[in-house]
Chain A
């Protein structure tokens, strides 16, 4: 049975759609003008990596180049520097197995619980989280997150420090080329996210401040660069 507001909504739908259709009846969609896009200068892989790092650093992110086997050591060092002893990570990510090799000083915990019953824990007892990434964009210094059931989306959002592993082999020139090459239109996940720095705001007197609501720090661990 439809409720009152659903009936109203259906009526509104017909009214809006009919009004709009009346105005564009007979429009010839084959005669639309061509939409030219700007041809950007092609950069070499090295230049793209430089561009990517440059933009991220300009946006207050920290970028560390490393090899895959160095992940446990670098993660341990970085956490130690910040006096952080707890790290949350996802299951089945390429780096998940390596979390067992972290310094014994650090308590690494896997995100295998539902957020709903563990909000307090995630909001108040988790100083850092580490995630993988699906791709990266050179032109804007963006990292693409493609959260799954094994690597939930709040892992990159709630803890004040977000570490993210980016593979330079997965670097694309710009957002358009990434969407096209990976055919995003066919397989978008629940929530895809582009991240281009730590959370920030300039809402008070145009003064930039980091750590508005999301992570205060974004640490990018860049492989194969």
Chain B
């Protein structure tokens, strides 16, 4: 299948993902950025290690949580229906969207219906997926990020570079400069307590006055119709407690069957993400404000977004991508992510999980460079709390991206878009050569004899390496020669033994 026609309104991230190689060159050359990531990743890896002292517990939990997520995925359509039914019975309204534009549209209309002008947002990667802030700003609705990291990123007019710690690419000096440029009356300081205090002051005023709170969801419990939020700062609680309207947005894969499924997942999530036994707040929302209650939103809405998830769902192997609970451990342990940083990917989700989920959201045509940006060291698969075989899925996506046009099966949007004729011909030649001994031996004989003709410079390869040199003889020839000498020696030994025998 050749690349399909793309929606002219495709996500802005498709363009930045296409620029992956340029982004990488740009960010690899930024020493400050690389220092920031190295420091942050070392910190997060260390925190995670210390949170899992008992290896048996970790492995049992990983297996359990993998099975929980696989069960919930196998029952996904039914659980979504059950979730909707129970949320509605609890008084929470449910909306569905296949595309990011539809999701944004629903949210914009819900806000406009209530004459909402100002929104405070809890951290939500799904709303980054839909570029909700831009969409609402265009409709004159002020949309302010309230997670400290997200607030910093928004002030800097950037995107999160990490799914858990969005402003990880900035150091405190950069944050201080940013505050000085953007917050009136801010006295320049690099004291982190003072910087957080400043953010607190600005944002509390916003919480107090906002019309709408928008958040993500970590787990949506089908059995009880409950939306669960994991956070440390309290901004999620503010967004879901103070404004009159709360809108939550999440991907369809976030539903779990039972309330009982939540504790093991929560335990793995916070420990894998930041090495915390549990987050400061775990917030479980099951109703809008009830009769005599004195606070809480009058209306609660949930928007369920597909955006390519059902495509991943359709293939049993790729479905495992949807097991993800968004802890970020795979990026923390990724040697590629640590070096190029989160922005180079150009996608909403960076790092290993980004490489396997983004092709479903943006199409392989825009993202076919991503699965190749891996050394396949396997660290991501090893730390994944729900055992997603990320390296295997990377290989699978590489295959899908170079799928020949005559392959009848359709797996994903943009498959085959990374196929290059010359590359295909080279591999066909390679395959022929390894199938027939005569061709192999002849070409090897010629290659070794003509080795002096090998160029000293081989494009990008030799920009950081010396050119490989072929040996004067092939391994086959050498082994043959060695075997010959050996059998001659053996003959001699036997002969000697026979002489000394009697």
Contacts and interface: CB of A to CB of B under 8 A. Distances in A.
B446 interface: no
Given A4-B109, A203-B167, 4 more contacts: A12-B96, A189-B286, A201-B149, A212-B235
B264 A37 contact: yes
Contacts of B238: 157, 213-214
A1 interface: no
A214 B281 contact: yes
Contact of B233 (A19, A59, A190, A212): A212
A201 B196 contact: yes
Given A5-B105, A12-B102, A213 B241 contact: no
Given A33-B67, A188-B224, A188-B226, A197 B310 contact: no
Contact of B260 (A185, A203, A214): A185
Contacts of B224: 184-185, 188
Interface of A: 3-6, 8-10, 12-13, 15-17, 19-21, 23-24, 27, 29, 32-33, 35-38, 40, 55, 59, 111-116, 119-120, 123, 139-142, 148-149, 152-154, 157-158, 174-176, 179-180, 184-185, 188-207, 209, 211-215
B89 interface: no
B29 interface: no
Interface in B201-246: 203-204, 207-209, 223-224, 226, 232-235, 237-238, 240-242, 244
B240 A191 contact: yes
A115 B289 CA distance: 12
Nearest to B66: A35
A214 B233 contact: yes
Contact of A201 (B77, B96, B148, B242): B148
Contact of B195 (A19, A157, A175, A204): A204
B166 interface: yes
A57 B106 CA distance: 44
B313 interface: yes
19 contacts: A12-B102, A20-B77, A24-B75, A36-B64, A59-B280, A111-B294, A152-B293, A152-B296, A153-B296, A179-B260, A185-B224, A188-B284, A190-B293, A193-B281, A194-B282, A212-B200, A212-B233, A212-B234, A214-B281
B484 interface: no
Contact of A213 (B36, B146, B192, B294): B146
A205 B263 contact: no
A66 B392 CA distance: 56
B278 A194 contact: yes
Contacts of B383: none
A17 B259 contact: no
A175 B228 CA distance: 14
A148 B102 CA distance: 36
Interface of B: 36, 39-40, 43-44, 56-57, 60-61, 63-64, 67-68, 71, 74-77, 80-81, 84, 95-98, 102, 105-106, 109, 146-149, 152, 165-168, 170-172, 175, 192-193, 195-197, 199-200, 203-204, 207-209, 223-224, 226, 232-235, 237-238, 240-242, 244, 252, 258-260, 262-264, 266-267, 274, 277-296, 304, 306, 310, 313-314
B373 to A, nearest CB: 25
B237 A214 contact: yes
Nearest to B204: A123
A9 B93 CA distance: 12
A171 B39 CA distance: 38
A213 B244 CA distance: 19
7 smallest CB-CB distances across A and B, nearest first, come from A214-B234, A203-B149, A212-B233, A115-B295, A20-B77, A149-B292, A194-B282
Given A123-B208, A149-B294, A213-B233, A197 B74 contact: no
A36 B233 contact: no
Nearest to B227: A191
B293 A193 contact: no
A139 to B, nearest CB: 7
Contacts of B233: 199-201, 203, 212-214
B242 A119 contact: yes
Given A205-B192, A206-B43, A9 B95 contact: yes
Given A21-B77, A157-B237, A191-B240, A16 B96 contact: yes
